Every structure is written in structure tokens, then in C-alpha cells.
């Protein structure tokens, strides 16, 4: 399967993590990786582009997430995933974009919730805990893009 030219949206607030993943996916798989660091940026990116895959962190720490009393920055990625899977994000349908959750969240209840929400309607989802080996990320990306 060729991955050359496929587009990935990476919703991650840590620039170092983004740089590592962007470089690896570009160099090894020829993928274009766009980064979003806030709820507004991720929605704008989805409205303006067609993505083949979303990489998602759960904890998104930014001004937007800490100022919103209805959303906890420690679970922002989970809120986003739920909206994505429920079709509440303009330009998307509930199951059309596979998601790789790549996060340091180690809480069993949160992991169970991620798997429950992310796999709705037979949506494609994979979960990796940080720190993840680059080979594991590459394998998960390849599997999600090949389904």
C-alpha cells in the first residue's frame, strides 16, 4: 500500500512531539502532517482540508482549553473525539476519518472511554501510550491507512 501524499492532522500541543512525528512520517512514509494546537485550529483544519488520518493527544493545554469552564484541558482530545464521532464537526461524518490516539493518559477509565467513544459505529481507531516507539507509531499509521 502506498502512503505517499496522504494527509494527516495531528492535534497535539507539544511542538517537540509534533516535530519528531512529522519528520518520521514524512521521511519513512511520505505523509504530509499538519499540526493543530487548539480547538479552533483543529476545526479550521478539518473544514479546509481532507485528511486521511487524525493523530490525537488527549491533553491539550492552551488558552482556549483552560478558559472554557465546560471542557477540561486534561480531556480536550476526548471531547474532540466524541464530537468527531457524533458528527458535530462541520465537514466530517461520524466515522469517515480513522484516529490514532497517541497520549500519556494512563488512567484506565479514560483509556476505556477513548476506546468506547473512538470505536463507535465501527469507526477505525488505534491507541498508543506515550512514550511510544516510533516503529509502533509507524505500524499503527500504516494499519489505519490500509483499512
Could you list the pLDDT tens digit for every one of the 147 residues in the chain? 677 789 999 999 899 999 999 999 999 999 999 999 988 899 899 888 889 999 998 888 777 766 777 776 677 888 888 888 887 777 666 557 899 988 887 667 777 777 776 666 567 888 888 888 899 999 999 999 986
Rounded CA-CA distance 127/143 in Å is 12
Q: 73: which residues sit within 8 A by CB, 6+ positions away?
A: 59, 60, 61, 62, 65, 66
- Grid coordinates representing 80 are 474532540
Let me know if residue 56 belongs to a domain: yes
Nearest to 42 by CA among 5, 12, 6: 12
Let me know if residue 125 belongs to a domain: yes
Q: Is 34 left (phi over 0), alpha (psi -120 to 50) or beta?
A: beta
What local confidence, expressed as pLDDT, does residue 94 receive?
Answer: 56
Let me know if residue 114 belongs to a domain: yes
What local confidence, expressed as pLDDT, does residue 141 receive?
Answer: 94
Let me know if residue 39 belongs to a domain: yes
What local confidence, expressed as pLDDT, does residue 92 receive?
Answer: 66
Asked whether the beta carbons of 73 and 59 are under 8 A apart, the reply is yes
Asked whether the beta carbons of 43 and 89 are under 8 A apart, the reply is yes
What local confidence, expressed as pLDDT, does residue 114 receive?
Answer: 73
Whole-structure pTM value: 0.86
Let me know if residue 13 belongs to a domain: yes
Rounded CA-CA distance 66/45 in Å is 21
What local confidence, expressed as pLDDT, does residue 103 receive?
Answer: 83
Domain region containing 71: 7-146
CATH of the domain at 49: 3.40.50.2300
Count of domains for the chain: 1
Q: C-alpha distances in angstroms, 50 versus 33, 91, 94, 115?
A: 12, 9, 14, 24
Let me know if residue 83 belongs to a domain: yes
Let me know if residue 61 belongs to a domain: yes
Let me know if residue 2 belongs to a domain: no
70-75's contacts with Cβ under 8 Å and 24+ in sequence apart are 71/39, 75/110
Amino acid at each position: 500500500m502506498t502512503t505517499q501524499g496522504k494527509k494527516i492532522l495531528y492535534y497535539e500541543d507539544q511542538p517537540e512531539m509534533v516535530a519528531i512525528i512529522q519528520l518520521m512520517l514524512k521521511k519513512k512514509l511520505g505523509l504530509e502532517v499538519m499540526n493543530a494546537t487548539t480547538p479552533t485550529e483543529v476545526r479550521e483544519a478539518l473544514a479546509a482540508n481532507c485528511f486521511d488520518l487524525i493523530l490525537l493527544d488527549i491533553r491539550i493545554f492552551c488558552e482556549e482549553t483552560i478558559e472554557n469552564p465546560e471542557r477540561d484541558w486534561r480531556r480536550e482530545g476526548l471531547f474532540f473525539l466524541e464530537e468527531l464521532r457524533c458528527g458535530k464537526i462541520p465537514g466530517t461524518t461520524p466515522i469517515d476519518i480513522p484516529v490514532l490516539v497517541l497520549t500519556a493518559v494512563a488512567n484506565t477509565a479514560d483509556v476505556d472511554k477513548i476506546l468506547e467513544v473512538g470505536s463507535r459505529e465501527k469507526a477505525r481507531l488505534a491507541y498508543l501510550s506515550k512514550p511510544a516507539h516510533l516503529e509502533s507509531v509507524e505500524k499503527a499509521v500504516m494499519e489505519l491507512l490500509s483499512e
